[in-house]
Structure 1
Amino acid sequence: MHHVGYLLTEGFQVMGLATQAVFEYANKVAGHEFYRLHNYSVGGGELASSLGMRVTTAKAAATASIDTWVVCGVGNPLESPASAEECAFLQRAAKKARRIAGICTGGFVLAEAGLLARRRATTHWAFARAMQERFPDIQVEDDRIYIVDGPLWTSAGMTAGLDLALAMVGKDLGEEAARSVARKLVMHQHRAGGQSQHSEMLELAPKTDRIQDALNYARRNLKRALTVEELAEQANLSARQFTRVFTSETGQSPAKAIEGLRLEAARLMIEQSRHPLEVVARETGFRDRRHMREVFLRGFGVAPQSMRREGRA
């Protein structure tokens, strides 16, 4: 049996506890209680989340037989830094546990305890720069869903914790088990750790349904040579009206936005599959491999081959 201990502090974010559902459903997939979950705090007793929900915790003890410690974040780690007691506890616990994870801003607690020194780590994008400035000996990668560096695991904000927990399940029970858990939780996809925290669709953030519908259509049909006229038809607008409204709502021209969606889709295929680059280019709507390389260099500053090598490393 694998024991998972959640270390909570006053004002913890409820989303951190949502990752417990991943382990719950992993037990269902495994057909037995592989994971057993425990909620702890340094002092024990009831704690209130940032939302006001109260959770009963046991007093954390370094002698507890915990295989994985998960440290949940708080809303603003700069205003609520880790206590000396928390840091001391984690330093002791790290000597016995198999791994320790920081969900969202929980990475700051690991950093305060000195556990991330000279390691790679990530956190919520809004606090990544502050982490780097405050802890210059950490290699902060602010555009990653989660990072595993030895026994230290850190995730980006909110839902990225689910991806980190799924990765743990994949490591413990196999990738097929992790995929099964993702399906049961109705997760759109099991995101790899190297994936960006940012989504091109979220960055565009159209204000009306008709532009959103056109973007959804484009994302489903990236393999095709999409024209403004085709997208305008999805929005029930003339091509001229569509271009004006689209640019006003998203801040980008339709052509630029479609290029961004193609880039995002190609990057995900490169990171998560072994398809030849020629296939990636064709499936995501680039003219050929050379055209995809040109757009990658312009958009990411690296070639597709380099991104694939980095992802495998």
Structure 2
Amino acid sequence: MHTRTVAVLGYNGAQVIDATGPAEVFAIANELAGGRLYRVVLASVDGRDVVGASGLRLGVELPLGDIADTVGPLDTVVVPGTYRWTVAAGQTGLLDALRGAAASSRRVAAVCAGAFLLGRIGLLDGRRATTHWMLLDELAERFPATKVERGPIFVADGAVFTSAGVTAGIDLALALVEADHGPVLARQVARFMVVFMQRPGGQRQFSVRLRSEITKPVLRGLLDAISADPAGDHRLSALSSRAGFSERHLSRLFARELGTTPARYVEQVRVEAARALLETSDAPLDVIARLSGLSSAETLRRSFTRDAGVTPHAYRQRFRSTGATTG
């Protein structure tokens, strides 16, 4: 059985889960397949241990440049991201080591802000790529020769793979396992890890409430009340009465603070509630629609598809394929 060597790049300040998440995917694939499909090596520029962004120390096995001579030919290089990606992207030694490893490996996979390191060594030029949703504009601005994809959890373009933030590195690693050994093994790994094979909806699936930055305490309380009871009476008149504002002023407040209307915000919260019910129950769509405040199965389908990018039925279909394609 051919063993593929996977080098995870370790450096100070890297997000630990960006490194350990993919490593666990490969390790579990080994266990479930009953053989050594992958040999995972944590390597740094100089072979010294590194300290991740969380403060955890990671034990490095050897210098990145020594892997080919010590372990064997490199198959895959995994590049974790970091909160301090501007610092990492300016470290010449780190970039030189990554450039050399990338040139001698079959493929390179960056998690989260690791995409910026690939961009700095020219690997994203003329390619499609993605990164954490908060950094998409920055990636597009810094690397204009890259076509930045804003929806996918991960993007495969030839031998270069990039993914969205943090736990998306697990999705990416599952795609690599599928590409190497087929969807059956990748599905088994996903089931073992209790994750999606292909997360529905891409980067559009983040919490409505969490992505709302509110400065007005009254509005914050109103939004919390909507989230706590999505099926409640949240017509503009009812919201206005609870907030103590005129309907016109409340609409202006929503536009300024949230960039949307009260009705649209309520709909987004209801779709999020429906998503949770789809994930945790086998209830029919009309029941889910009623419980989430979307009134009917047809309204649920229409609103859910607009917000999540997939139908409610498709959202329920988990553990199939990662959806990975190369080229």
Cα 1:258/1:70, change in 2 over 3 Å:
same
Query: Aligned residue for 1:44?
Result: 47
> Tell me, what secondary structure is at the counterpart of 1:45?
coil
Q: Could you tell me which of 26, 29, 33 is aligned with 2:32?
A: 29
Instruction: Give the Å deviation of 1:26.
Output: 1.4
Encode CA deviations 1:191-214: one digit per residue, 9 max, x unaligned: 359722542555577879875454
Checking the alignment, whether the CA contact within 8 Å between 1:4 and 1:66 is kept in structure 2 is yes
Partner of 1:278: none
Q: Deviations over 1:136-180 (max 9, x none)?
A: 111122332111110000111111111111111222222222222
**Match 1:54 to one of 50, 57, 76:** 57
Q: Is the 8 A contact 1:124 1:157 kept in 2?
A: yes
Provide the rounded CA distance (Å) in 2 between the counterparts of 1:23 and 1:243: 55
SS of alignment partner, residue 154 of structure 1: strand
* Aligned sequence identity (%): 30
Give the aligned residue type for 1:9: Y
Q: How does 1:171-250 map to 2 (within 5 A)?
A: 171-187=179-195, 189-192=196-199, 195-201=202-208, 211-212=226-227, 214-215=229-230, 228=232, 240=238, 244=242
> Does structure 1 conserve the Cα–Cα contact (< 8 Å) formed by 2:190 and 2:197?
yes
Q: Deviations over 1:244-290 (max 9, x none)?
A: 58x99996646753367659989xx9xxxxxxxxxxxxxx933699x
In the aligned structure 1, how far is the partner of 2:12 from the partner of 2:324? 39
The answer as to 2:169 corresponding to 1:161 is yes
The one-letter code sitting in structure 1 at the alignment partner of 2:98 is L
- The aligned residue for residue 75 of structure 2 is 67
The count of aligned residue pairs is 267
What amino acid sits opposite 2:114 in the alignment? Answer: G
SS in 1 for 2:123: coil
Picking from 272, 275, 285, the partner of 2:297 is: 285
What letter corresponds to residue 185 of structure 2 in structure 1? A
Once the two structures are TM-superposed, the CA of residue 118 in structure 1 deviates from its matched residue by: 0.8
Question: C-alpha separation between the residues in 2 aligned to 1:153 and 1:132?
Answer: 16
> Within 1, Cα distance between the matches of 2:185 and 2:240?
45
Q: Is the 8 A contact 1:146 1:193 kept in 2?
A: no
Q: Structure 2 vs 1, CA of residues 193 and 11 (structure 1 numbering), >3 Å: closer, same or farther? A: farther
Cα shift readout 1:94-114 (whole Å, capped 9, x = no counterpart): 333121011111111111111
> What secondary structure sits across from 1:286 in the alignment?
helix
Which of residues 62, 74, 87 in structure 2 aligns to 1:79? Answer: 87
CA deviation vs aligned residue, 1:69-124 (integer Å, no higher than 9, x gap)? 00111212123324223323333323331210111111111111111111111111
Letter of the 2:267 counterpart: I
What corresponds to 2:266 in structure 1?
257
Q: Secondary structure, in 3 states, of the residue corresponding to 2:85? A: coil
CA contact (8 A) 2:26 2:173 kept: yes
Please, what TM-score do these two structures have when normalized by structure 1? 0.69
2:4 paired residue number: 2
Kindly provide the CA deviation profile for residues 276-308 of structure 1, in whole angstroms up to 9, marking residues without a partner as x: xxxxxxxx933699x679x84xx79x999xxxx
Amino acid at match of 1:195: G
Change (3 A) 1:244 1:2: farther
The one-letter code of the counterpart of 2:8 is Y
Deviation for aligned residue 1:183: 1.8
Task: State the distance in 1 between where 2:104 and 2:190 align.
Answer: 30
Q: Give the secondary-structure state (helix, strand or coil) at the position aligned to 1:170.
A: helix
* Amino acid corresponding to residue 257 of structure 1 in structure 2: V
AA of the residue aligned to 2:9: L
Match of 1:94, SS state, is helix
For the 8 Å contact 1:228–1:243, the answer to whether it is kept is no
Q: Which residue does the alignment assign to 2:98?
A: 90
1:121 aligned to which of 126, 129, 140: 129
How far apart in 1 are the matches of 2:209 and 2:156? 26
* Larger RCO (alpha carbons 8 Å, 6+ apart): 2
**SS in structure 2 at match of 1:23:** helix
TM-score (norm 2): 0.67
> In structure 1, the residue corresponding to 2:122 is in which secondary structure?
coil
Query: 1:126: how far off?
Result: 2.0
What SS does structure 1 have at the residue aligned with 2:188? helix
